[in-house]
A and B are shown apart, each in its own frame.
Chain A
């Protein structure tokens, strides 16, 4: 049963009441989008940096902003509601901390992208760093936008898009800054007092079933190790065969000559 919020929201708009579960889902989406944004940001300036990547970054940012605004409404409304029971308040505070941390990460990543974007212009692709990455990032962006696949209809012009994008990015950074400041002022949540609920060491088995054995650098080492073991086994077998062969030949000779 949805809780009815009596107070009017801060910016004057009345939003439809959302449930606790929906609020939690919003935060989780925001965390997902922030993770995807970081992933995309780590490709800026590298050899796969292109207009598509910059577009994807922009779309991801917009989605993050929408989610952030929705989360903020939900959380501020709930936390300013004095009739909230204590367990729910604790839960809200945890979500609040998650929300602020996500925004902080997003802010840092946006600043970094702005800085790198100004240093690595797409007009001069010979200066992009050869990082060894080959593939595209459209699946990551699709994941961030919760779409099956991205729609790459238009092909924008390089120079104009970059300037436009840099300007927009600066504005968006300012917006996130303001949001963070507003939140600190309006809601008084002592962050350090919040206790985490989850375990210290996360359980790897709780990952998606779509993960088919995660690859790490050790795979190569273990495979090589296996290869080496196999090789040594083969040698031993060969040596044994050789010995048996020699023994057989000798016995044949003994029988033949005696």
Chain B
């Protein structure tokens, strides 16, 4: 199972291979050898922009990721793993060296690579590579003979190829190790930072905008998608839906009407949105239609819903639900009392407000009541909750009661800003309560002294 982002990046790479609509390939010219399948950074950017219909910045970001994770490697300056949008050359990495969480780069492989590098050219190893080599020599000393023998054999095997291929193979291997064992100080794409997350799940830490973007460009999923990918796809889709839905309702994103009290010192916004105001705002009533919890959490909404249910003679459902909530969140000392009350009012045969629960749940609950605790009514509460959600709630949204509420709801006017800026009210903070109380004290003293003074005045 691949992480979803790696999977998506691989799909992008494969899309680039298409002979008709894929990336345009050029030849790399080295003195006498010509190596095909090179492309410039500019080619890559333009292809991404054109294929996925994205902006320059997004293409730069995506292309940069492809280079950082080693799917594409630069031919000039191989140690600098960035995508330049000029004519610097790049080439695709062979699938054997693609990043994989199942077969991470092993120490043995790294040792063999460094040994090969050293055998090819003495003193070829850079400082940090020499250090790593020495460290590995200590750590896996027992298999060092094998390392050297394998390194020699791998070099002998690659000598059977023609020169151009040898150059490519060396570049591929070098690129792979530059991604997996970068020089200290360089950006390590696999660095999880001080907070160690679950390695398999979050090998890639992307910001959410990039994740949305990757999802946007992914075409119809084929059946090789793992459940991991599908799960994160559904999470992100629901998150996107939530954002779209609540965008208008968020005071930071869409401003609040009539005006932001913190800026204009006008507290209308708060007064019209109090819990049990006479006429609610339109946005508030609209929110009730988003989800059932939204309706229940709003006091006014709950009251309205109760009115509606009582008209339908199913008000006991909501009362039962409220009682269960009270039980769950209430005081521990009153639990037994509350359970008894709930039983008497809602569950016992012939109860005043008997709720309709299926027999299995009823049996279980009655068993549980013998040893009452905070969560004994959970099953029954859940049953009633879903009953209301599936049955009463949609009907309420279609009912006249709700529609009247919606039409009655007010949409406050945005306060007009005055034309002349210097005519606007100066912002000042309201006086501190400590100062206010002191002022009244002083006034009291003065008033107390005043009449006495006048008295004394008149007396004399």
How many B residues face the partner with a CB closer than 8 A? 69
- Across the interface, do B120 and A140 meet the contact criterion of CB distance under 8 Å? no
Residue of A nearest to B154 (CB): A35
Question: Is B221 interfacial (CB-CB < 8 Å)?
Answer: no
Within 8 A of B (CB), among A165-218: 191-198, 200-202, 204, 206-208, 210-211, 214-218
- Across the interface, do B95 and A129 meet the contact criterion of CB distance under 8 Å? yes
- Taken together as a complex, chains A and B put the C-alpha atoms of A144 and B153 apart, in Å, by 10
- Across the interface, do A31 and B146 meet the contact criterion of CB distance under 8 Å? yes
- B residues in contact with A198, CB < 8 Å: 144-145, 148
- Taken together as a complex, chains A and B put the C-alpha atoms of A127 and B344 apart, in Å, by 70
Question: Is B162 interfacial (CB-CB < 8 Å)?
Answer: yes
Residue of A nearest to B91 (CB): A132
- Across the interface, do B172 and A131 meet the contact criterion of CB distance under 8 Å? yes
Question: Is A146 interfacial (CB-CB < 8 Å)?
Answer: no
- Across the interface, do A215 and B93 meet the contact criterion of CB distance under 8 Å? no
How many A residues face the partner with a CB closer than 8 A? 70
Question: Is B283 interfacial (CB-CB < 8 Å)?
Answer: no
Give B371 Cβ to nearest chain A Cβ, in Å: 52
Q: Mark B110-143, 1 if CB is under 8 A from A, else 0.
A: 0000010011111010000000011001000111
Within 8 A of B (CB), among A45-98: 45-47, 94, 97-98
The stretch among A9-17, A101-109, A240-248 that forms the contact with chain B is A101-109
Specify which of A32, A120, A133, A139 is in contact with B168 (CB 8 Å cutoff): A133
Within 8 A of A (CB), among B83-103: 91-97, 100, 102-103
- Taken together as a complex, chains A and B put the C-alpha atoms of A115 and B226 apart, in Å, by 14
- Across the interface, do A42 and B30 meet the contact criterion of CB distance under 8 Å? no
Within 8 A of A (CB), among B40-74: none
- Across the interface, do B97 and A42 meet the contact criterion of CB distance under 8 Å? yes
- Across the interface, do B158 and A207 meet the contact criterion of CB distance under 8 Å? no
Question: Is B414 interfacial (CB-CB < 8 Å)?
Answer: no
- B residues in contact with A223, CB < 8 Å: 31
Question: Is A155 interfacial (CB-CB < 8 Å)?
Answer: no
Give B173 Cβ to nearest chain A Cβ, in Å: 8
Question: Is B150 interfacial (CB-CB < 8 Å)?
Answer: yes
Question: Is B38 interfacial (CB-CB < 8 Å)?
Answer: yes
- B residues in contact with A128, CB < 8 Å: 17
- Across the interface, do A129 and B13 meet the contact criterion of CB distance under 8 Å? yes
Q: Mark A118-146, 1 if CB is under 8 A from B, else 0.
A: 01100000111111111101011011100
- A residues in contact with B115, CB < 8 Å: 202
Specify which of B31, B155, B165, B171 is in contact with A214 (CB 8 Å cutoff): B155
Known: A130-B37, A200-B137. A32 touches B146 (CB 8 A): no
- Across the interface, do B142 and A195 meet the contact criterion of CB distance under 8 Å? yes
Specify which of B144, B159, B169 is in contact with A211 (CB 8 Å cutoff): B159
- A residues in contact with B35, CB < 8 Å: 132, 134
Give A2 Cβ to nearest chain B Cβ, in Å: 25
Question: Is A43 interfacial (CB-CB < 8 Å)?
Answer: yes
Residue of A nearest to B125 (CB): A201
Residue of A nearest to B33 (CB): A220
Specify which of B14, B97, B165 is in contact with A135 (CB 8 Å cutoff): B165
- B residues in contact with A228, CB < 8 Å: none
Main secondary structure on chain B at its contact with chain A? helix
- Across the interface, do B94 and A46 meet the contact criterion of CB distance under 8 Å? yes
Q: Mark B149-175, 1 if CB is under 8 A from A, else 0.
A: 111111111111111111111111010
Residue of A nearest to B106 (CB): A108
User: Most A CB atoms within 10 A — which of B92, B134, B151?
Assistant: B92
Residue of B nearest to A204 (CB): B119
- Taken together as a complex, chains A and B put the C-alpha atoms of A34 and B37 apart, in Å, by 29
- Taken together as a complex, chains A and B put the C-alpha atoms of A223 and B31 apart, in Å, by 8
- Taken together as a complex, chains A and B put the C-alpha atoms of A45 and B168 apart, in Å, by 15
- B residues in contact with A42, CB < 8 Å: 94, 96-97, 169, 172
Residue of A nearest to B168 (CB): A132
- Taken together as a complex, chains A and B put the C-alpha atoms of A39 and B96 apart, in Å, by 10
Known: A128-B17, A193-B142, A216-B170. A140 touches B150 (CB 8 A): no
- Across the interface, do B146 and A101 meet the contact criterion of CB distance under 8 Å? yes
Give A210 Cβ to nearest chain B Cβ, in Å: 7
- Across the interface, do B19 and A116 meet the contact criterion of CB distance under 8 Å? no
- Across the interface, do A197 and B145 meet the contact criterion of CB distance under 8 Å? yes
- Across the interface, do A140 and B157 meet the contact criterion of CB distance under 8 Å? yes
- Across the interface, do B170 and A31 meet the contact criterion of CB distance under 8 Å? no
Question: Is B18 interfacial (CB-CB < 8 Å)?
Answer: yes
- Taken together as a complex, chains A and B put the C-alpha atoms of A17 and B111 apart, in Å, by 35
- Across the interface, do B120 and A101 meet the contact criterion of CB distance under 8 Å? no
- B residues in contact with A202, CB < 8 Å: 115, 118-119, 148, 151-152
Residue of A nearest to B109 (CB): A105
Question: Is B36 interfacial (CB-CB < 8 Å)?
Answer: yes
13 extra interface residue pairs, beta carbon distance < 8 Å, beyond A35-B157, A193-B142, A211-B159: A31-B153, A35-B153, A35-B156, A39-B154, A39-B158, A44-B95, A119-B224, A129-B13, A129-B94, A194-B143, A196-B141, A200-B134, A214-B155
14 A-B pairs in the complex with CB atoms less than 8 angstroms apart: A31-B153, A35-B150, A36-B157, A42-B97, A47-B37, A119-B95, A126-B19, A131-B91, A132-B28, A139-B160, A191-B143, A200-B137, A211-B159, A216-B167
Question: B interface vs A, CB < 8 Å?
Answer: 13-14, 17-19, 25, 28, 30-31, 35-38, 91-97, 100, 102-103, 106, 108-109, 115, 118-122, 124, 133-134, 137, 141-146, 148-172, 174, 224
A-B CB proximity, top 7 nearest: A45-B95, A196-B144, A35-B153, A139-B160, A130-B37, A98-B146, A132-B37
